[in-house]
Amino acid sequence: MNAIDNLNTWMITEGRRSGDPVHVVSHFCASLVAAGVPLWRANIGQRFANPLLIAWGVVWKPDETQVYDVTHERMLTDGYVGSSFEYILKHRKPLHKSLRNLDPETDHLSYLEFAELGGTDYYATLLYYGDGSLHGCTFVTQAPKGFAPEHLEMIEATLPALSCALEPMTMRKSSKSLLRTYLGDGPSEAVWNGTIKRGERTTLDAVVMFSDLRGFTALSDTGTEEEVFDALNSYFDLVVQSVEENGGDVLKFMGDGILSIFPIPTQADHADRCRKAAQAAQGVLSGLVTLNQSRTAADQPALDLGIGINAGQVSYGNIGSPARLDFTVLGSAVNVASRVEGLTKSLGHRVLATDTIADAAPDLFAASGLHEVRGIAHPIALFALIAPPETPQGS
């Protein structure tokens, strides 16, 4: 067997089983170099279905190999428009281009950058997957004479095997990414591993944070559809980013409500998770100031919100019918967090927490007194989060 045959055999056996795209692409490119293809750089791009990401890929260079993601927004920029990836996907055929004597006015920026770094020749071609989808890969050389025809023939001869190795990885990455997008880190991992089936539940201690956008009904009645969705997305971005930065999981969007949890693995982690949740709420308040400044500058109404935080035992899992499941978290701790959030407006605070939270982070809370909470027989002590500097408490 020659070098190309050996590479193809490796791709459809060990490469397909490895599950490691960096390992596969590194081996693929290094084997081509060993076979005489003068590669300097390769980019193996994979498209997949995801509401936030449209593609991912692996960039190989002799000294390093890296994985990257591509958002939908990036596809609208000059980085993609006019690029070789756009060309091969649109025309469904390879592109071979010399990087010498380029025209800065008409040639794509990527060609100019490669040429400036010493690239001499460029080749872009397609990968075909079993579901009919098309994916792209590009190869650059610094060889003085560029790619010879036999070099391109060797590259093309290995692409079916490369597709064979990478397609299952793309399918797994796409599925995991979708689960992560809709369920969050912890729950998505549990569902992926098959540990949570219909009716099965996991009980754990957690901090529960329930946030709600104030005035949403009025905004829905008076604003345009675009204005409503823009407000919701801005609010969601704000809360999700702060929760995830502090180690929490956003479990559900319920209209304009957001349910988040901060799992408490052991009792020793209780105080840390309570503080993380409080810091996440502070981050939301700080971000709200910045968000409203930009909305005011754009002649849009300011947004306001309320947050309730509580800790206790919760159960999460899949519920629903055999054909349609929903992932949710249940328990009295969740109900209390929701009802505490409902008191934020009447008590004049954006963020209220129970004593189990405030006791773990006394420097972040001020006592608000005893208050009746629906569903609880006796009044309970509530605490208002101390807003970050220059952040008004609001009402």
pTM of the model: 0.63
Domain that holds residue 263: 185-385
Number of structural domains in the chain: 2
CA–CA separation, 315 and 317 (whole Å):
7
Q: What is the pLDDT of residue 325?
A: 64
CA–CA separation, 328 and 243 (whole Å):
17
Q: How confident is the model at residue 339 (pLDDT cuts 50, 70, 90)?
A: very high
Write 83-87 long-range contacts (CB < 8 A, 24+).
Answer: 83/108, 83/110, 84/108, 84/110, 84/122, 84/124, 84/136, 84/138, 85/45, 85/124, 85/136, 85/138, 87/124
Looking at the structure, do residues 168 and 250 belong to the same domain, yes or no? Answer: no
Looking at the structure, do residues 197 and 165 belong to the same domain, yes or no? Answer: no
- Given 182, 202, 219, which residue is the final one in a domain? 182
Task: Indicate which CATH number applies to the domain containing 102.
Answer: 3.30.450.40
Averaged pLDDT, 370-390: 86
Residue 390 lies in a domain: no
Residue 391 lies in a domain: no
Q: In this predicted structure, which of 97-106, 159-168, 170-179 has the lowest mean pLDDT?
A: 170-179
Classify 209 as helix, strand or coil.
strand
- Scored b (16 or more CB within 10 A) or e, 58-77 reads bbbeeeebeeeebeeeeeee
**Which residues have C-beta within 8 Å of that of residue 138, sequence separation ≥ 6?**
42, 43, 45, 84, 85, 122, 123, 124, 125
Looking at the structure, do residues 375 and 228 belong to the same domain, yes or no? Answer: yes
CB 327 within 8 A of CB 191: yes
Looking at the structure, do residues 365 and 221 belong to the same domain, yes or no? Answer: yes
Looking at the structure, do residues 33 and 168 belong to the same domain, yes or no? Answer: yes
Task: Indicate which CATH number applies to the domain containing 201.
Answer: 3.30.70.1230
What's at 109, amino acid-wise? L
Averaged pLDDT, 67-82: 71
Averaged pLDDT, 256-267: 92
Report angle CA 4, 8, 10 to the nearest 5 degrees: 115
Looking at the structure, do residues 203 and 308 belong to the same domain, yes or no? Answer: yes
Residue 392 lies in a domain: no
- Given 131, 152, 182, which residue is the final one in a domain? 182
CB 165 within 8 A of CB 15: yes
- Given 132, 166, 182, which residue is the final one in a domain? 182
CB 131 within 8 A of CB 151: no
Q: In this predicted structure, which of 42-56, 204-218, 250-264, 313-327 has the lowest mean pLDDT?
A: 313-327
Average pLDDT, the chain: 87
* Assigned token pair, 231: 């407000």
User: Rounded to 10 degrees, what is the CA torsion of 10, 14, 17, 21?
Assistant: -70
Looking at the structure, do residues 110 and 208 belong to the same domain, yes or no? Answer: no
Q: How confident is the model at residue 323 (pLDDT cuts 50, 70, 90)?
A: low
Q: What is the pLDDT of residue 10?
A: 95
